[in-house]
Amino acid sequence: MGLAESLWNARVRGSQVTVADADRPADARGAYEVQRAITELAGQQVGWKIGATAQAAMDLLGFTEPFFGPLYARFFHESGDTVSVVTAHSAGIETEFVVGLGADLPPRDQPYTDDDVRAAVAWIAPGFEVIGTRLASGLAGAGNLLIADGAANMDFVLGPKLNDWRGLDLTKHPTTLYINDAEKAAGHSGMLLFGHTIGAVTWLANAKHIGSRGLRAGDVITTGSCTGVIPVSVGDRARADFGPLGEVSVAFTGA
Nearest partner of 123 among 171, 179, 162, judged by Cα? 162
Question: Does residue 185 register a pLDDT over 80?
Answer: yes
Q: Which residues of 151-181 are buried (b: 16+ CB within 10 A; e: fewer)?
A: bbbbbbbbbebbeebeebebeebebbbbbee
Residue 13 contacts by C-beta under 8 Å, 6 or more apart in sequence?
none
Per-residue pLDDT tens digits for 197-216: 999 999 999 999 998 999 99
Question: Does residue 122 register a pLDDT over 80?
Answer: yes
Question: Does residue 94 register a pLDDT over 80?
Answer: yes
pLDDT of residue 1: 58
Question: Does residue 148 register a pLDDT over 70?
Answer: yes
- In CATH, the number for domain 3-254 is 3.90.850.10
Distance CA 120, CA 113 (A): 11
Type of residue at 63: F
Per-residue pLDDT tens digits for 10-68: 999 999 999 887 688 989 999 999 999 999 999 999 999 999 888 888 887 778 889 99
Contact 121, 165 (CB under 8 A): yes
Contact 187, 97 (CB under 8 A): no
Question: Does residue 255 register a pLDDT over 90?
Answer: no
Per-residue pLDDT tens digits for 55-90: 888 887 778 889 999 999 999 999 999 999 988 899
